[in-house]
Amino acid sequence: MHPLLDTLKTKFPEAVLAVQEDKQRGDLSVRVAAPRLLEVARFLHDDPVAAFDHITDICSADYPDDQERFEVIYHFLSLPHGIRIRVKARVTEEHPVVPSITSVWKGADFMEREVYDLMGIKFSGHPDLRRILMPEDYDEGHPLRKDFPAEGRGWRSRFDFLPRLDEAPVAETGRDIPEAEKRVFRTEPQPSSSSRRTEELLLNMGPQHPATHGVLRVVLELDGERITKATADLGYLHRGVEKLAEGLAYMQIIPHTDRLDYVCSMTNNYAYVRTVEKLLGLTIPERAEYIRTIVAEMQRIIGHLFWLGTQALDIGAMTVFFWTFREREVLLDLFEKLCGARLTLNYFRIGGVDSDFTPDLVERLRAFLKDFPAHIEEYETLLQTNRIWVARTKDVAVISAEDAINFGLTGPVLRASGVAYDVRKLEPYGAYGKVDWEVPIGKNGDTYDRYWVRMEELRQSSRIIAQCLDQLPEGPIVADAPKIIPPPKAHVMRDMESLIHHFIIFTQGFKPPKGETYCATEAPKGELGFFIISDGSPRPYRMKIRAPSFVHMGAFDHMARGYLISDIVTIFGTYDIVMGECDR
Amino acid sequence: MTKFTAWIKTIIFYEILVGMKATLSHLLHYKPITLQYPHEKRTLPDSYRGMLALLRYDDGTEKCVGCDLCEAACPSRVIKVFSAEVPGEPTKRYAKEYYMDMTRCLFCGLCVDACPVDALGMTREFEWAVYDKRQLRLNKEQLLAIGDRSYPVREKRLEFQHPNVAFFNVAFKGLPEKES
């Protein structure tokens, strides 16, 4: 057994109910008594033996038949030791209360709110326990509970807020917003002794605002031009992908993951497919691994180019936007050639990829890589030393390394603060372990460093692709597992056995073993993780998406406080948020 | 000295000049990469995942055998198939009615993967904007018409050895060529 689990057992004989090590998948999990969760969490965070300083995710599951119905599942990562742990606590339906861990990890704030919103578990000691993805006045229950129908309650036409065609439109009159409704957005009132009258200004930004990169609403509390509190209001693009996935076979979820981070959809495919393969214990052919790495890095280039263009556009540099989209277009054309779509690609399959690289495609990709470094330098001549860009990004939205880890930030946002955490290095997957590349790290953790990190990542990505193209081995692109992967089309029509497998896989789906696993993948935005609980049926019992944009929004208030109102679009942009992923 | 150069660079807006040089050089080597869309059109690759279509054999008979696999594979319940026996041939089945609600389609191509007789294909058509979304609920005739105009080369229908293996027809490798 892992020494850490022994330590936990001897240290907390009453609080730790059970420990388990999944040797095959390399997962550690601990079950603790819910009331004593906080002391175990504090030990895990503080003790140098454990040092789980990074909060990855909080998830919940519903088992209606059990006596203790709900399970809250925490994922922590220890950056010094490089291990992950899963802490689980069970609560009953009558008393669904778990102590909040926001005092240990600040990033738990948004995650606990999400669990409260979707599963209805209360967190005692949470500073601001409100709904986050669903509307605040939503009173139909908690959607991820198993007794909540996936179709929702009631017909869409019965919603009274939808305008009806046969009725005259109601004239909207302005109304005063009561003070009680404003209170949630305000900071704590400061008692002022002077006779000078001060008043905070509440400014509503979004959801229809071009600089918020989607439908995000932020309520800013201003003192003059300074932001004193920024409350993000999420959920305008909530589609309930996690609930939807519970009703779909494993294979059918892949096109739905395309729609999470629609700027670079293949990385979502990759993250999901890897989790299912980890659950199944499936190994992938060498060529498929290389192809996956290549396309994932192409998507990273697309994602960072998109980010660079829009961030520069937000700040006022128009030319960069056109130039980055020019290069992006070349890659999108390659994807169109490869799998027939430009944005929602649906290219990955469980056990491999959909179609093979043709020599023509490899040639075009090589030609692109040859020109690409010159293009990066072109962007840099426009931005790197430009005084407007430097003034707008240097020392804006600074976050220290400790805070960044404590909030659970990942990806370029974390690396700009000087933390060399990259899933591709920590847990190498694909062909990342076989090629030579570096993790760029910033120093100050400001917007300029995040820009610099992403520019360096563009160079590293093209390095990885070039090496992968050189090493690209021959061979099959799909694993040989007839019970899981549909047989090739030509066999289906000739061979009785293949036909039977084909029918079974497409009608029933395959059945992975009972179990649960978390698998993290480095997406352009940060660590994109999928947590799947399988009950042995062809559909996931619970699928949780650890979306980096959502976690990053949790640190938004912390990073925006004290800056000018004109910096707010820079701060949005620096996370590279995509609301499709944030709201899921 | 370095301080002096920095000062000179500041007052002459050096970095802006460098940026303007890059921009103006693009003006000289002017090469548009955009297309005037409704007048000019891109050539789409063969594997393009556009509008779905039902295909026919070279003798004009429908390929679809009404097996419902596309309906089962679809992640967003686009397809509805009602299958029936071919009149006079009790061992053979066909799709009596076939509906696709294209407002919900994700264009993921799983139905095409699922079809055991390659009766479904994805075309290069994408200009399907309509004023009334009820027009996007397509029936079998409309889907066959899309297939007829997109796939002029049809798969050959073979002579069957036995009526029971009627739907195990040997398929093309992939899909037939599309009109370019």
pLDDT digits (tens, 9 = 90+) for A330-379: 888 888 888 888 888 888 888 888 888 888 889 989 999 998 888 888 88
What number of H helices and E strands is found in chain A?
A: 21, 15
Which pLDDT score, from 0 to 100, does residue A489 have?
Answer: 78
Which pLDDT score, from 0 to 100, does residue A156 have?
Answer: 53
A502 contacts in B (CB within 8 Å)? 69, 114, 116
Residue A177 in domain: no
Distance from CA of A244 to the nearest CA of B (A): 10
Say if the Cβ atoms of A507 and B72 lie within 8 Å.
yes
| Fold observed for domain B52-172 | Alpha-Beta Plaits (3.30.70)
Say if the Cβ atoms of B116 and A503 lie within 8 Å.
yes
The secondary structure of residue A54, as a DSSP letter, is: E
B16 contacts in A (CB within 8 Å)? 386-387
Say if the Cβ atoms of A336 and B169 lie within 8 Å.
no
The ipTM assigned to this model is: 0.79
Look at B125 and B174; give whichever has higher pLDDT: B125
Which pLDDT score, from 0 to 100, does residue A51 have?
Answer: 84
| Residue A167 pLDDT class (50, 70, 90 cuts) | low
Q: Does residue A154 carry a pLDDT above 70?
A: no
Q: Is the dihedral of CA B163, B165, B167, B169 positive or negative?
A: negative
Which residues 52-91 on chain B approach chain A with CB closer than 8 angstroms?
67, 69, 72-75
Which pLDDT score, from 0 to 100, does residue A530 have?
Answer: 92
Distance from CA of A502 to the nearest CA of B (A): 8
A386 contacts in B (CB within 8 Å)? 15-16, 19
Which pLDDT score, from 0 to 100, does residue A301 have?
Answer: 92
Q: By residue range, what is the domain housing residue A307?
A: 241-582
Closest Cα in chain B to A330: B33
Distance from CA of B88 to the nearest CA of A (A): 25
A490 contacts in B (CB within 8 Å)? 171, 173
| Residue A302 pLDDT class (50, 70, 90 cuts) | very high
Decide if A247 touches B, using CB distance below 8 A.
Answer: no
Report the CATH number that the domain containing residue A370 is assigned in CATH.
1.10.645.10
- Give chain B's mean pLDDT: 79
- Identify the CA nearest to A227 among candidates A565, A556, A574: A565
| Residue A190 pLDDT class (50, 70, 90 cuts) | low
- Give chain A's mean pLDDT: 85
> Which SS3 state, helix, strand or coil, does residue A229 take?
strand
Decide if A254 touches B, using CB distance below 8 A.
Answer: yes
Distance from CA of A425 to the nearest CA of B (A): 32
Which pLDDT score, from 0 to 100, does residue A174 have?
Answer: 63
What is the Cα–Cα distance from A63 to A71, expressed in whole angstroms?
Answer: 8
Q: What is the share, in percent, of chain A residues with pLDDT greater than 90? A: 7
pTM over 0.90: no
Residue A342 in domain: yes
Decide if A344 touches B, using CB distance below 8 A.
Answer: yes
Which pLDDT score, from 0 to 100, does residue A189 have?
Answer: 60
A484-510 mean pLDDT: 82
Residue A512: CB atoms within 10 Å = 24
| Residue B173 pLDDT class (50, 70, 90 cuts) | very low
Pairing of strands A201-205, A217-223: antiparallel
B122-136 mean pLDDT: 83
Chosen from A325, A489, A504 to mutate, greatest number of chain B CBs within 10 A? A489
The angle formed by the CA atoms of residues A340, A253 and A519, to the nearest 5 degrees, is 105
Report the CATH number that the domain containing residue A59 is assigned in CATH.
3.30.460.80
pLDDT in tens, A198-242: 677 888 887 887 777 778 888 888 888 888 888 888 888 888 888
> Which SS3 state, helix, strand or coil, does residue B89 take?
strand
Chosen from A350, A378, A390, A506 to mutate, greatest number of chain B CBs within 10 A? A506
From A74, A92, A124, give the residue that closes a domain: A124
Look at chain A and report how many structural domains it folds into: 2
From A86, A101, A124, give the residue that closes a domain: A124
Look at A150 and A45; give whichever has higher pLDDT: A45
Q: Does residue B34 carry a pLDDT above 70?
A: yes
- Tell the burial category of B52 from Cβ atoms under 10 Å away from its Cβ (0-12, 13-18, 19+): buried
Q: Using alpha carbons, list the distances in angstroms from residue A108 to A143, A187, A508.
A: 21, 20, 38
Q: Does residue A169 carry a pLDDT above 70?
A: no
pLDDT in tens, A470-494: 888 888 888 888 888 888 877 777 7
Closest Cα in chain A to B112: A489
Which residues 255-284 on chain A approach chain B with CB closer than 8 angstroms?
255-256, 258
A342 contacts in B (CB within 8 Å)? none
The strand order across the sheet containing A16-22 reads A16-22, A27-33, A83-91, A70-78, A54-62
Q: Does residue B56 carry a pLDDT above 70?
A: yes
Decide if B17 touches A, using CB distance below 8 A.
Answer: no
Q: Does residue A175 carry a pLDDT above 80?
A: no
A385 contacts in B (CB within 8 Å)? 15, 18
> Domain residues of chain B, as ranges?
1-31, 52-172
| Residue B168 pLDDT class (50, 70, 90 cuts) | very low
Closest Cα in chain A to B110: A252
Pairing of strands A97-99, A122-124: parallel
B116 contacts in A (CB within 8 Å)? 492-493, 499, 502-503
| Residue B170 pLDDT class (50, 70, 90 cuts) | very low
- Identify the CA nearest to A425 among candidates A464, A398, A376, A468: A464
A508-518 mean pLDDT: 87
| Residue A23 pLDDT class (50, 70, 90 cuts) | confident
Chosen from B106, B120, B122, B162 to mutate, greatest number of chain A CBs within 10 A? B106
Closest Cα in chain A to B170: A493
Q: Does residue B176 carry a pLDDT above 70?
A: no
Q: Which of A382, A486, A506 shows the shortest C-beta gap to B72?
A: A506
Say if the Cβ atoms of A494 and B45 lie within 8 Å.
no
- Identify the CA nearest to A222 among candidates A583, A568, A495, A524: A568
Which pLDDT score, from 0 to 100, does residue A193 have?
Answer: 59
Candidate from A72-86, A145-159, A295-309 with smallest mean pLDDT = A145-159
Closest Cα in chain A to B68: A507
Decide if B169 touches A, using CB distance below 8 A.
Answer: yes
Candidate from A182-186, A243-247, B50-54 with smallest mean pLDDT = A182-186
Distance from CA of B38 to the nearest CA of A (A): 19
